[in-house]
Structure 1
Amino acid sequence: MTSSVAQPTAVKASWAPMVALALAQVLMSFNVSALPISLSGMVDDFGVPPTAISTGIVTYGLVVAALVMTGAKLGQKFGWVLVFRVVIAVFAVAMLTMTFAPSVGFMIAAQALAGASAAIIVPSLVALIAENYHGEQQATAVGSLGSARAASGVSAFLIGGVLATYVSWRPIFGILVVLAAVVFILSFRLRSAPGSKDVKIDAVGAVLIGAAVVSLTLGFNNLNGWGVLAAEPGAPNVFGLSLAPVLVVAGVILGQGFLVWTRRRTRDGRTPLISLTVIGSKKERAAVYALFIIVGLEASLNFTIPLYIQIVQGRTPLATSVAMLPFNLTVFFSALLVVRFYKRFSTRVIARTAFILTTVALLWLSFVVTNNWETVPTILGLIVFGIGQGALVTLLFNVLVTSSPKELAGDVGSLRGVTQNLASAVGTALAGAMLVTLLGVGVTQALAGSSELPAAIQQEAGLDRINFVSNPRLREVLEGTSATPSQVDKAVQINTDARLSALRIGLVVLAAISALAIVPVGRLPRYRPGEIPDPSTVDE
């Protein structure tokens, strides 16, 4: 059994510095949440298709994930407080550019600049928490980051939904300019050790991990559009094979190359881009695996719900915000309150319980879900999932912070940034590909057994290329063909049934993934967050 040494009692530090760090987390999360809400407004303002706007969304995530490890080294070299202030100012410039962007090119450039800033903010939050708080206060501080992330999602959906619907999308990002100024002022309450000029930045490692992350993210994000295996018509391909899986394989190879290079650099006594000791034990690797799984599940659900509400039901972004509110509020409170259980239960017990909750919630949703998300059983399922998800993100992050020495806090932060961004991309992409595939299979099977819809009508109506559309839109398309009213009704009914079936099967698959995660969390440590693990038993 793993033993632990309780941290000695210390004078409690002021929570004022934590306000700056929590608001910095809000800055990043609010921006990410506000982008999808602003989609239709940007399309109208810039006169471009939605795919052009989505490029900005992808750009932000790519830049964060690709540069976050390099960002951690910059903080160690020049000092965390100084670097934090600089990048907060740069983030404010990016949001100012978003507010007054005259074209889609300026919007994409602004998101690239925001992503570069966030690549340093992410590890700096962890490093500055480690510098300013210890023991129980550190556990609470880490939990507040998860709560701030959830709270920013709630506020972005509500504030952004109202502004985008009744005013414009631009004031949404103007709010972030003001908030960045507040964070900059509050940053003068932060303290940290000065930077070390001896820290070297591994350029080769930075290129390898950056290329790996970009390749993996682009590959997973385009599985649905370019094809899971065979290339879709007009999509980039390699001898007929979709470029998406090729990029995924290339990303895995580049990632392995990064690990080999990092181990070699460490053996030679040179500073690596990230110290692999932060994932040196089975317990730390288990925490990373579990974090990847829960963030991927969260991304899958966050993709699925808006898909059905906005595309299938044809409702507004504000309606989506209201439907997501119970889930987002639950995540917020769960992330904040889970720290109260640290004194009574070990990380292993809490994590197992949380994954059991997410598994049960997803299975429950697969049975009770209908095309109306506002039913009480559906809301109950989302709340239960939110309890488990919010607790896990905070807990697993806390395990990584507690398991590593303070000087490696920046490396832990960069590891968190890469893990969460990759998991989000993978979860969203796989959910989209899985749901579309299941929908296609369901429609194909139904059409094969239907004598009312001959092959000629199916081809004329494009039923062999069906995707997620609302019933009114599908009916409109079908009524423009030679299909009779009864055939139109039949096709709409097939699509409705197939959509619901795809959703239910997809939720069962997600539940199975959640259940499998109970295995890696069995390797989590038995000590409680806020305690110092005994190094001699770190791998027991």
Structure 2
Amino acid sequence: MSKWWPVVILGCAQFVMVLDSTVMNVSISKVVSDLHTTVAAMQTAITFYTLTMAAVMLLGAKLGDVWGRRRTLVIGAIVYSIGSLMTGLSPNFVTLFLGWSIIEGLGAVLVIPAIAALVADNYSGRQRVTAFAVIGAVSGAAVAAGPLIGGYLTTYLSWRYVFIGETVIMIAVLLFARVIADSSLPARLRIDVWSVLSSAAGLVLIVFGMLQSKTWGWVVPKVPLTIGGVTVAPFGLSPVPFLIAAGIALLWLFLRRQRGLAAVGRPPLLDVTMFSIARLRSGLSVLGAQYAVTAGLFFMVPVYLQMTLGLDALTTGIRVFPLSIALIVFSIVGTVLTRFWSPRRIVRIGQLVLVASILALLPSVSTDLKAVPFGIGMFFAGAALGLLASQLGNVNMSSVSEERSSEVGGLQGVFQNLGSSFGTALIGSILIASLGSSFAGAVSASTLPDSVKSTVLQQTQNGVAIVPTQAVPRIAEQAGLSGAEGDTLRSLYTHAQLGSLQTALFALAVIAALALFFSRSIPSSVLGAAPRSGPEADGASPEPAADKRRR
């Protein structure tokens, strides 16, 4: 049994890493209430948690080579524990944002790459296959259990206990880290600081611009950005397109610098020649889209269930459970199907089912939860995501030689977390912006007195916050409106909220449909089967030819 202690310890760390990405969403309404914050603020926290990981994942993988894998795991666990404890004890949103979105994210970028490397270092042959299967099973269990654990603790105790529990588990990982063997030696690598800064800043600017579009507008300023009493509106436009353009420019400079570093014999932060591999480009693009849809669903569904319908966190977790369990089951089904079908066929079936399942969810979004259609839609969304998850990792890893697999692993981490950030930022912004315009239009067209319309529109001119529909009459009363006017506003707000949710769901379906264009270069031959003739037979990439030239 002693030989399996390393995978037990690493499995505990993996459970926390996956759990943390699913547990916060079902607790949104309670966290908003406890910390006196808003859903928009929580959208920012969720977005920046994954964005932090996306921005510095490549650096985290390099630091594992510089410090050694086990030392990196220990440092990452310490950082993560500090962040979890801060989050669990946070008295306000700022502390939660710093602890969860920033410090925990920085700890995760050290822990996640180290787990895979240390599993490979501690086991070989069939034992290594078993160990990776255990890590995969732990990840699946965390995906399924996350909404239920978060929902139960939030409903009957406090969401804070989730993060206190994570702190305890990571301390246990620290205490038993010595049982994990590490044969790697610290490498003398020179990490290019400008590469780290330009890639991180570029990603942050792009996602932050999307995140703020709900407030500032995409092109025409909705709410002016004011700094030190000075309104910032370049050429009379919203700052959003300028932020996104600046981010794209920084990423372009980052890619140029990587080529320049490689040309003079210095180790780049990222080997950009890998992007010339069609199969890898396709796999990473579909992976990013998959995580964008997943994050968008995990943000929107709790908002609908808690803010519109008034369900508690545990019931929300139960309603999300069909998606979680289907994701696990169909990850296994997809692996079995690889014996008979090509990765491209499985991926495209998954993509089509994902689009259909999201569209099927649209009629379920109403004032009365249609439990059966909603559950079926969630189940098939999870099934589609499971089919995609079963293929994309292998597609990406098989695109390159074994010597470059660690770099591809880092790229996968970037695209996963960037996709999650993009999904939460974009879909959340569409949801909130649509809510504001829908509610304002409904109030203007209503039979409410002109004085009431003027009061409501004046108080919501800077946007409409997502609040529980049950709270609208109380808010109206505090604004000096009558009970009947408050009830009318509640009805208008509820329908505006439902309309904005449907708009955001449709946007998710569009993203899922567009991802079909990215899957063109996924391999079209069954794994292990003799390839057909022609360079396009299996989504061929230039990698084999490049390998031959190097040899």
Alignment partners' CA distance in 1, 2:530 and 2:62: 25
Provide the rounded CA distance (Å) in 1 between the counterparts of 2:382 and 2:298: 11
After superposition, the Cα gap between the structure-2 partners of 1:126 and 1:526, relative to the gap in structure 1 and judged at 3 Å, is farther
Aligned to 2:312: 316
Look up the match of 2:383.
387
What residue in structure 1 maps to residue 153 of structure 2? Answer: 163
Question: Which residue in the other structure is 1:10 paired with?
Answer: none
The 1:530/1:159 distance shift into structure 2, 3 A limit, reads farther
Q: Which moved more, 1:517-526 or 1:455-464?
A: 455-464
What's the % identity of the aligned pairs?
28
- For 1:523, the equivalent position in structure 2 comes to 521
| Secondary structure of the structure 1 residue equivalent to 2:422 | helix
Counterparts of 1:191 and 1:278 in 2: how far apart (Å)? 31
Shift of 1:312: 1.7
Residue of structure 2 in register with 1:176 after alignment: 166
- Aligned equivalents of 1:461, 1:502: Cα separation in 2: 19
Normalising by structure 2, we get a TM-score of 0.82
**Match in the other structure for 2:361:** 365
CA distance in 2, matches of 1:105, 1:448: 36
- 1:422 corresponds to which residue? 418
> Judging changes above 3 Å, is the alpha-carbon distance between structure 1 residues 82 and 528 closer, same or farther for their aligned structure 2 residues?
farther
Contact 2:47/2:421 (<8 A) preserved:
no
2:321 paired with 1:329: no
Q: Does 1:513 align with 2:489?
A: no
Measured after TM superposition, the shift of residue 84 of structure 1 is: 2.3
From the superposition, tell whether residues 253 and 531 of structure 1 become closer, same or farther in structure 2 (CA, over 3 Å): farther
Q: 1:218 aligned to 177, 186, 208, which one?
A: 208
- Determine which of 55, 77, 82 is the counterpart of 1:88: 77
Map of 1:114 onto structure 2 = 104
Between the aligned partners of 1:523 and 1:242, the Cα distance in structure 2 is: 37
How far apart are residue 356 of structure 1 and its match? 1.0
Which is bigger in relative contact order (C-alpha 8 A, separation at least 6)? 1
Q: Do the aligned partners of 1:147 and 1:333 also contact (CA within 8 Å) in 2?
A: no
1:62·1:214 contact (CA, 8 Å) conserved in 2? yes
Cα drift, residue 358 of structure 1: 0.2
Q: Provide the rounded CA distance (Å) in 2 between the counterparts of 1:98 and 1:491.
A: 35
Residue 504 in structure 1 maps to residue 493 in structure 2: no
- Cα distance between partner residues in 1 of 2:169 and 2:521: 40
Residues 228-263 of structure 1, C-alpha deviations (whole Å, 9 max, x = no match):
334444644434543343322211111111111111
- The answer as to 2:336 corresponding to 1:340 is yes
The code of the aligned residue for 1:282 comes to A
Moved more, 323-332 or 224-233: 224-233
Q: Could you say if the C-alpha distance between residues 106 and 531 of structure 1 is closer, same or farther in structure 2, counting changes exceeding 3 Å?
A: farther
- What displacement does 1:473 show? 2.7
Query: Contact 1:398/1:529 (CA < 8 Å) preserved in 2?
Result: no
Indicate whether 1:459 and 2:454 are aligned.
yes
Q: Is the 8 A contact 1:293 1:514 kept in 2?
A: yes
- Higher mean C-alpha displacement, 212-221 vs 452-461: 452-461
The correspondence of residues 139-288 of structure 1 with structure 2, limited to 5 A, is 148-184=138-174, 194-195=184-185, 197-233=187-223, 235-236=225-226, 237-239=232-234, 241-288=237-284
* Residue 139 to residue 377, structure 1, CA distance change in 2 (3 Å): farther
Q: Give the unaligned 5+ runs of structure 1.
A: 1-13
Aligned equivalents of 1:446, 1:101: Cα separation in 2: 38
1:525 Cα deviation after fit: 1.8
TM-score by length of 1: 0.83
SS in 2 for 1:403: coil
Aligned residues of 1:142 and 1:398 also touching (Cα < 8 A) = no
User: CA offsets, 1:148-202, max 9 Å, x none?
Assistant: 4453244333223333333334432232233224545675665565246243312
- 2:43–2:424 contact (8 Å) kept in structure 1: no
Which deviates more from structure 2 when the two are superposed, residues 327-336 or residues 283-292?
Answer: 327-336
Residue in 1 aligned with 2:545? Answer: none
Query: Which region of structure 1 is more displaced relative to structure 2, 360-369 or 401-410?
Result: 401-410
**Is contact 1:347–1:526 with CA below 8 Å preserved after alignment?**
yes
Q: What RMSD in Å do the two structures reach over aligned CA positions?
A: 3.8
Q: Which ranges in structure 2 are unaligned for 5 or more consecutive residues?
A: 227-231, 543-551
Contact 2:277 2:399 in 1 (8 A): no
Bigger drift between 458-467 and 242-251 goes to 458-467
Distance in 2 separating the partners of 1:436 and 1:100? 29
Q: 1:386 to 1:50 in 2, by over 3 A?
A: closer
CA separation of 1:15 and 1:356: change in aligned 2, threshold 3 A: farther
CA 1:174–1:323 in 2, change beyond 3 Å: closer, same or farther?
A: same
Q: SS at the partner of 1:522?
A: helix
- The structural deviation recorded for 1:290 is 0.6
**Contact 2:354 / 2:381 at 8 angstroms: preserved in 1?**
yes
Asked if the contact 2:79/2:104 (under 8 Å) is kept, the reply is yes
- Higher mean C-alpha displacement, 229-238 vs 408-417: 229-238
- 1:66 correspondence with 2:62: no
2:296 maps to what in 1? 300
Shift of 1:47: 7.4
CA pair 110-365 structure 1, distance change in 2 beyond 3 A: closer
- Partners of 1:23 and 1:183 within 8 A in 2: yes
SS of residue in 1 equivalent to 2:398:
helix
Question: In structure 2, what is the equivalent of residue 412 of structure 1?
Answer: 408
Aligned partners of 1:279, 1:210: CA distance in 2, in Å? 19
Q: Return closer, same or farther for 1:21/1:341 CA change in 2, 3 Å cut-off.
A: farther
* CA–CA distance in structure 1, aligned partners of residues 179 and 154 of structure 2: 35
TM-fit CA distance, 1:212:
1.2
C-alpha separation in 2, matches of 1:448 and 1:508:
25
